[in-house]
A = this chain, B = another copy of it.
Amino acid sequence: MTSLTPPTALTSLLGLELPIIQAPMAGVQGSALAIAVSNAGGLGSLPCAMLGLDALRAELTAIAAQTKRPYNVNFFCHAPPPPGAVREASWRATLAPYYEELGLDRGATPAGAGRAPFSDEVAELLGEFRPPVVSFHFGLPSPELLARVRACGSRILSSATTVEEARWLESRGVDAVIAQGLEAGGHRGMFLSEELTTQVGTFALLPQIVRAVGVPVIAAGGIVDARGVAAAMALGASAVQIGTAYLLCPEATTSAVHRAALLDRSRRHTALTNLFTGRPARGIMNRLMRDLGPMSDAPPPFPLATAALAPLRAEAERRGRDDFSPLWSGQNADGCKAVPAAELTRELAAGASAQS
């Protein structure tokens, strides 16, 4: 059936059979989901921001062993925050009542960033594996690091949330731009501004970026089924990147409380929140977001907010509660289905065939 899908500028460039990119989603998937999507003819993605070097090597080894098709590895490229003991202490004080409620010892909270930016060591490792595609979130790494990725022969993608960001990425030589509409789940890729009013819905963002840049444009945000794929192609997309719809697939590692929230039709209210990491990301409203307000001055800068929440999250989840868990989701969870990722990928791609 996939032979009916016509090639686009992007599928030709990346050697894909289908114009479907599975969005990298740190914390809810590893190589298994990426392998399934790539083997189905789409582009599977491995989220690497939360992987240490050994774990990254293991995942890349698994992918290389299990697919001969193109795949994508995704990295964050934030600037690590300056030391901020005061804000860290204030954040822990904000969370203290929850520690007390759950009977946890505040002294035992771990420190550390949790998410690391793209680095020399990672570039070195990529040189061994030469991944067909490397995508970035929060802009791009330094020109020197980017040149090392290019030298691997990898195609380079990055996300734009505004026309200005798309032009910035194109001028630095990305092979395609991901237009990340406001509907998207997880972290906003925004990097030229922190002002949330600059963030634009997919219907408005996608055609403006298509018009502004010469490279192929990948649509992301609110696309959950074949009709959404057809609509994105009608607006000029060369491919679509889809995350939320894959969260219930058996190959994803989505937690039980996260799966339950996605399946609950009474919980379709999402919001951008900086509580879980320090940067705005879209997730389903839960207790922490309601208590503190989804956007807050309380958490320390990205990615430091996560550490102090970790014990709360673990203990609450142990009790079957999602009070402190990031429940990443886009604004439309209607596409979530507990079916194998290959089946979902082919269903989504039917929208691209319909468009030809």
Contact = CB atoms under 8 A, between A and B. Distances in A.
A228 B203 contact: yes
A231 B208 contact: no
Interface in A178-222: 181-183, 197-198, 200-205, 207-208, 211, 221-222
B234 A207 contact: no
A203 B221 contact: yes
Contacts of A183: 200-201, 203-204
Contact of A268 (B163, B294, B331): B163
A355 to B, nearest CB: 8
A303 to B, nearest CB: 23
A197 B269 contact: yes
A201 B272 CA distance: 13
A285 B271 CA distance: 23
Interface residues of A, number: 41
Given A163-B268, A272-B197, A294-B197, A203 B227 contact: no
Nearest to A196: B271
Interface in A291-349: 294, 330-332, 334
A106 to B, nearest CB: 30
A225 interface: yes
A236 interface: yes
B228 A207 contact: yes
A61 to B, nearest CB: 37
B222 A227 contact: no
A263 interface: no
A230 B203 CA distance: 12
A235 interface: yes
A201 B201 contact: yes
A224 interface: yes
Contacts of A355: 234
A223 interface: yes
Interface string A147-186: 0000000000000000100000000000000000111000
Interface in A127-144: none
11 contacts: A182-B182, A183-B201, A183-B203, A197-B271, A197-B294, A198-B269, A200-B332, A204-B221, A207-B228, A231-B234, A234-B234
Given A203-B221, A203-B228, 10 more contacts: A181-B203, A183-B203, A200-B332, A201-B202, A205-B332, A207-B332, A208-B332, A211-B334, A228-B235, A231-B232
